[in-house]
Amino acid sequence: MLFLPGQKDPLGKIADSRAGILASLIGIAARQSIETGKKVNIADLIDFPVGWTFADHQKS
């Protein structure tokens, strides 16, 4: 999939750009938390589209 484009994803778990952005934000939040010693709210790092929530994109 990553190294062999066009491969099937039988489990439907391939990451999209949203997953990449969220992973980056987690890293940014972790770094800020380490530097400041305080909690960092990921939602405060970026303006998400109106009505968008993390729960909207969780697959069951």
pLDDT: is 56 or 8 the higher one? 8
pLDDT of 6 above 70: yes
pLDDT digits (tens, 9 = 90+) for 13-53: 888 888 888 899 999 999 999 999 999 998 888 877 766 66
Consecutive H or E run containing 28: helix 17-36
Q: What is the model's pLDDT at position 60?
A: 45
Q: What is the model's pLDDT at position 20?
A: 87
Provide the sign of the torsion angle of the four alpha carbons 4, 57, 46, 41, taken in this order: negative
Q: What is the DSSP letter of 48?
A: P
pLDDT of 10 above 80: yes
